[in-house]
Amino acid sequence: MLPPSLRVALALGTSLVSLTAARAQPVGAQPGLPQAASTATPAEEVSLDTLSVTATKTEGAAIDALAGSSVVTREQIDRLQPSRLSEVLRDVPGVTTQENPNDPAQAINIRGLQDFGRVNVLIDGARQDFQTSGHSANGVFYLDPELVGGIDITRGPTATIYGSGAIGGVVAFRTRSIDDILTPDETAGVVQKQGFGTNGQRFLNSTALGARIGTAADVFGQFVFRNNGAYRDGLGTLVRDTGNELTSGLTKINIRPADGHEISGTALLQRFDFANAGTSNTGARFANAVQADTYTLGYRFARPDVPLVDVSIRGYYTTTQNDLTFLQDSPSGVYGTLGARAGNRITYDLETAGFDVHNTARFDTWALSHALTVGGDYVGNHVRTTDQAGGFGAAFTPSGERSLAGAFVQDEIRYASWLRVIGALRYDHYDLSGGVYRSSGDRVSPKITVGVSPLPGLEFYGTYAEGYRAPSITETLVQGIHPFPAFNIRPNPALRPETAHTVEGGVNLKYNGVLMAGDVFRAKLNVFHNMVDDFIGIQSVGPSYFVPAIAGIPASICARIPGRFPCVIPVRDFQYLNIAQAELDGVELEGAYDWGGGFVTLAATHTDGRDRATGETLISVPPNRLSTTLGLRFLGGDLTVASRLTFVEARTDLPTDTTILATKAYGLVDLFASYIVNDRVRADFIVQNVFDKRYTQYLNALPNPGLTAKAAISIKFATR
């Protein structure tokens, strides 16, 4: 039986479908059909109408994608004034985040899949593959939300067009650009923003400026400084080491030497400084300095009078380096043979270089219209770990190299206005090496999607797709002794790649004039079933054995442990292994209704996941969630006042050895307001967790913040 929150969401979705079928006019209705007179103020464009490319690499509104696609716009980000991207992504169905509040990094989970590249995260098209082993996520990225211009998300099997590994989905972040600060008739300008807050939200400064040189070129730059302190949870308890400081710079240039030609370049530099006490109770405390840089260079040619050529070439280079410096001595035997000393350093450095090239040719054959896309991509990861403390950093995040290469072909076929068929094939190959170990593999993965529109504004679709994820460097090469308690972790160069087999179905709804002239209704409902063969997870292996207890375990506990030694602990070795088969299925609902004078949005998620061999649930599957926002506009639309409600169910059905991860159900209320004073001044205000609820998001190590208020003002100066 579905959980109550999801049943409510589906009931609401069903009622909206009935309502639209009875009263609405479809978008783009055919000539001759009756049209409602438009006398009211037109509703604003909802996010589902925003262009998306992650589903097929060809532009189209998210509502038209034959996939679980969603878009987050810059307007939505501004309203919420997020300090972390998790505050924005909670409104996207099927998407959750895992984070350590001691660290500003984020990990994204889609449909219960995360870590080691299962979700392909892109920043301006550049792949983000950074990972360190620990007690949190195994695959994170660094990006401040103030630098983001928009987010394009497709849930499910997108590996055919977005590279090896994307068996969970793809999240593409677009950094801000000149079009985010200047209107088309403005030639130069600057936007200065400053923000303040409570509960650790100290200060934010963002300066963005840009200039257009006719139609031939434009230049954009942004500088962001953010300073956050430690916050308090809903009980007023200070959560130590949750502050951080960011200094970042973004530069973009676009050159158009001739009609249809564009050369673009991006440089994004971010520096995060923070202290991290960790969550393993080892007594170690670090000062972290993270440098996360992304560079891209691209070329595109597209012109309506040359339909056979729409070519895009993009190369990129990303580097993420985390320097950890011990701030205090760690206990003997906890880190390294004798314990680490203050000033000792560990450095994790990942360099990624890659390119992506593809061309879309548009043509007709008889009654069929084609968008044939052919392309290829390559990504190379180089991991280098150094540990001056003589401990386990290099063992648990081993150095090594991995290359992923592939090619794909995809044809999107349209017949009349009621039938779409998308067929694709992708070939993948990988090589991995480190020390004395080597591994490689390849595979061809198919995809087929059929979309049928029996009535204008209503479209059903079904998809079968396969995806292929190569093992990561860490999964293959990790080798060492865990310090607390002591147990051995073995490498496994015989790991087989994961293969996902996904069946998905959905319905897209888009209508105008549902309840009144000028209103807009959009909704997407998706159901999916994903079988992942050779799913990789860490497992205990071999017989149990006893090891001497490590310093730091209370004597009262040691005394109760049987054995020949004064204090010993029974342990088993661990190793990344291929689970025979993992099964995930779920339902997602996303909807928006905007009537000009206000709006309401809804996002609901239900996901189940289990190991088919044992029947145990997968710990990576998040609890069910329901999020809804109601907003009202006043003063001709210049003032927006809204409330967001988020309900998350408990997560308690966990394997017996992971019950410590269980979380309780909780509900959150956020209030926010935006006021456009004029075309130059904007003010935003938000109160998060209004009722000061103490809660811990599933898989997070520490409690989340209590009541937090934030305010920001933006002032624009521009010339025409």
82/106 Cα distance (integer angstroms): 13
Q: What stretches in the chain show pLDDT beneath 70? A: 1-45, 159, 277-284, 330-339, 389-395, 482-487, 542-571
- The residue among 437, 558, 414, 429 whose CA lies nearest residue 490 is 437
Q: Can you tell me which residue has the tokens 């339902």?
A: 587
For residue 225, the SS3 value is: strand
pLDDT of residue 562: 54
**What tokens appear for 642 in the block?**
């809204």
In this predicted model, what pLDDT tens digit does every residue of 138-191 receive, in sequence order? 889 999 999 999 999 999 877 677 778 889 999 999 999 999 999 999 999 999
Neighbours of 275 (CB within 10 A): 17
pLDDT of residue 523: 97
pLDDT of residue 19: 40
Left (φ > 0), alpha (ψ -120 to 50) or beta: where does 28 sit? left
pLDDT of residue 14: 42
pLDDT of residue 683: 97
Whole-structure pTM over 0.95, yes or no? no
Q: Is the peptide bond before 184 cis (omega within 30 degrees of 0)?
A: no
In this predicted model, what pLDDT tens digit does every residue of 680-709 receive, in sequence order? 999 999 999 999 999 999 999 899 999 999
pLDDT of residue 465: 95
Q: Phi and psi for 15 in degrees, rounded to 5?
A: -65, -35
- The neighbouring-strand residues paired with 674 are 640, 684
3-class SS letters over 658-690: HHHHCECCEEEEEEEEEEECCCCEEEEEEEECC
